[in-house]
Amino acid sequence: MSEEKVLIFDTTLRDGEQSPGASLSIAEKLDIARQLAVLGVDIIEAGFPVSSQVQFEATRLVAEQIEGPVIAGLARANKGDIESAAKALAPAKKKRIHTFIATSPVHMEHKLKRKPGEVLKMAVEAVKFAKSCVDDVEFSPEDACRSEMPFLIEILAAVIEAGATTLNIPDTVGYVMPYEYGRMIAQLKSDVPGMENCIISTHCHNDLGMAVANSLAAVRNGARQVECTVNGLGERAGNAALEEVVMGIRTRPDFFAIQSPGGLTTNIRTTEIYRTSQLVSQLTGFVIQPNKAVVGANAFAHEAGVHVDGVLKERTTYEIMTPESIGLGGSRMVLGRHTGRHGFVDRCRQLGFTLKEEEIEHAYQRFLDIADKKKEVFDEDLAAIVNEEIHVVEHIFDLQYLHVASGTGTLPTASVRIVTQGETKQAAACGDGPVDAAYEAIREATGLSPKLENYTIRAVTGGKEALGEATVRISEDGRKFIGRGISTDIIEASAKAYVDAINRMVSAKKQSEEPDLKVEL
């Protein structure tokens, strides 16, 4: 008996990017989309094209450059949104328009100010119009889980008749419980006329921490597409985490065999999960909590003596998945200052980085600098070095010199030298701490003072010589920019991250990227 597929619809670039504070440049979105294709997702929701010029362009470029997955664009149930999505998706070989309208009484009355009959008509017209633009149309009754079942059945039957082939059932506000959601999916599967020829999809938010459990309950009851995001990013508490959904299905095929005697599987290359998770975390600046399921730093760490003893005797005593299955561990190679250029490039390739000639040169020099300070360079260090090199923006401001003095009983002071357009700017400042002093000096030297929204520092690997990675989020005029910096010196990493964020801000302004309009969903 053959296995049945559960399609993985990744919405990291659309719903995930709606996370408060997450903002990705177009180049970063393309990098993530490329990695999602390597990961093997079936559908990439690349954006909400009508919402801004940046969203439109990002969707268009993903459609043009990413091969393999179906590329989807979101559109409200109106002609303008659908036209914009169709235009942005035009270059894609496989494309889907995902159109939606709210169906719960509270949304229809207060947000849409429409009667159910009007909503139904809008949904049908939208699906028909989308179908005239592309073959593959998905429909979502927003806030489905707080909608009345008879209306839900009626609207789903009508949009199927109009041409929708994927019916998504969003738990927009993360309200339902797994048992309820599973039952709901089973009822829609049996009671909606035409559903037998369509795919039922789940889209669960995590407000009560149920997003993954709800998605899997839906799968058990017949859903064959899961909408999810890498690391569970998304509005408020986020969406269902892709890695948890996929590993849940892979680890417990027996549980799903009820609906599907041959078992269930996905097209995901699970060994790419860890790399994808790290990339998304680095580019969005959202640090992964250590105890996060599947991809957290402690997910495969055994501390208690009894557990360590058990795992040493027989791994499966305390491990239900192997670290290798998500792309962790295996052969951990350690590089050092004697590793030649060839060895460096080779290891980068094994880690999945394909670098252009000039990127290799920069990254290798950077590697040598770090290897000079740090005897052993681990894979995680290498990934951080390479990511820093390949996600560079134009160095409008180049931090050439930093000196910081701080200690008990002294006022922290910093001086910096920054070169911009051939001109050298120097500044000195004091602050509450060494990072604050460095940031004040950078503000003086650049003449820019964006608001610092968030600052994090983490050790890339363990040990006293660990590489520090600083991530900052700054904002100006409502737009947010993320900057990263790595160094064995955490103050230097912090200063580099701040300058990187400022460079991204100035570069975006230069390209006069329109701010997102934040169109109401």
Q: What is the rounded distance in angstroms from the CA atom of residue 468 to the CA atom of residue 207? A: 32
CB of 227 to Zn ion, least distance (A): 8
Tokens of 154: 């009626």
Q: Which residues contact 278 (CB under 8 A, 6 or more apart)?
A: 380, 383
Task: Cite the DSSP H helix spans in 265-424.
Answer: 273-284, 305-313, 341-350, 357-373, 379-390
The radius of gyration of the chain from alpha carbons, rounded to an integer in Å, stands at: 25
Question: Could you tell me how many residues make up the chain?
Answer: 521
Nearer to ligand KIV, 74 or 280 (CB): 74
Phi, psi dihedrals of residue 415, rounded to the nearest 5°: -130, 145
Residues at the site binding ligand KIV, with contacts judged by CB under 6 A: 15, 100, 140, 142, 168, 170, 172, 203, 205, 521
CB of 165 to ligand KIV, least distance (A): 16
CB of 205 to ligand KIV, least distance (A): 6
Q: What is the rounded distance in angstroms from the CA atom of residue 96 to the CA atom of residue 82? A: 11
Nearer to ligand KIV, 98 or 504 (CB): 98
Nearer to ligand KIV, 8 or 502 (CB): 8
Under the binding rule (CB under 5 A), the answer on residue 272 touching Zn ion is no
CB of 143 to Zn ion, least distance (A): 10
Task: Provide the CA 518 distance to its chain's centre, in angstroms.
Answer: 18
Residue type, 179: Y
521 binds, among ligand KIV, Zn ion, none (CB under 5 to 8 A by kind): ligand KIV
Nearer to ligand KIV, 240 or 442 (CB): 240
Q: Which of residues 456-475 bind Zn ion (CB under 5 A)?
A: none
Q: Which residue has the tokens 């659908």?
A: 82
Tokens of 29: 């979105």
- Contact predicate 453/21, CB 8 Å: yes
CB of 515 to ligand KIV, least distance (A): 21
Q: What is the rounded distance in angstroms from the CA atom of residue 328 to the CA atom of residue 170? A: 32
Q: What is the rounded distance in angstroms from the CA atom of residue 109 to the CA atom of residue 311? A: 56
CB of 488 to ligand KIV, least distance (A): 42
CB of 58 to ligand KIV, least distance (A): 17
103 binds, among Zn ion, ligand KIV, none (CB under 5 to 8 A by kind): none
Select from 10-18, 90-98, 211-219, 242-250 the region that touches Zn ion (CB under 5 A).
10-18
Beta bridge partners of 45: 72
Neighbours of 361 (CB within 10 A): 13
Under the binding rule (CB under 5 A), the answer on residue 138 touching Zn ion is no
Q: Which residue is nearest to Zn ion (CB)?
A: 15
- In order of 229, 399, 503, the CA distances from 415 in angstroms are 42, 11, 19
Under the binding rule (CB under 5 A), the answer on residue 15 touching Zn ion is yes
CB of 235 to Zn ion, least distance (A): 6
Nearer to Zn ion, 206 or 471 (CB): 206
Number of residues that bind Zn ion (CB under 5 A): 1
- Strands across the sheet with 479-487, in order? 451-459, 468-476, 479-487
Tokens of 24: 């990705």
96 binds, among ligand KIV, Zn ion, none (CB under 5 to 8 A by kind): none
Q: Which of residues 404-423 bind Zn ion (CB under 5 A)?
A: none
Q: Helix or strand or coil: residue 1? A: coil
Q: What is the DSSP string of 266-302?
A: -S--GGGHHHHHHHHHHHHT-PPPTT-TTTSTTTT--
CB of 239 to Zn ion, least distance (A): 6
Q: Which residue has the tokens 């700017």?
A: 425
Q: Which residue has the tokens 């070095």?
A: 385
Nearer to ligand KIV, 321 or 521 (CB): 521
CB of 408 to Zn ion, least distance (A): 49
The closest alpha carbon to 211, from 183, 187, 186, 235, belongs to 235
Nearer to ligand KIV, 170 or 232 (CB): 170
Select from 14-22, 309-317, 413-421, 445-453 the region that touches Zn ion (CB under 5 A).
14-22
Nearer to ligand KIV, 171 or 380 (CB): 171
- Contact predicate 501/513, CB 8 Å: no
Under the binding rule (CB under 5 A), the answer on residue 28 touching Zn ion is no
Nearer to Zn ion, 173 or 396 (CB): 173
Under the binding rule (CB under 5 A), the answer on residue 17 touching Zn ion is no
Nearer to Zn ion, 205 or 292 (CB): 205
142 binds, among Zn ion, ligand KIV, none (CB under 5 to 8 A by kind): ligand KIV
Chain contacts with Zn ion (rule: CB under 5 A): 15
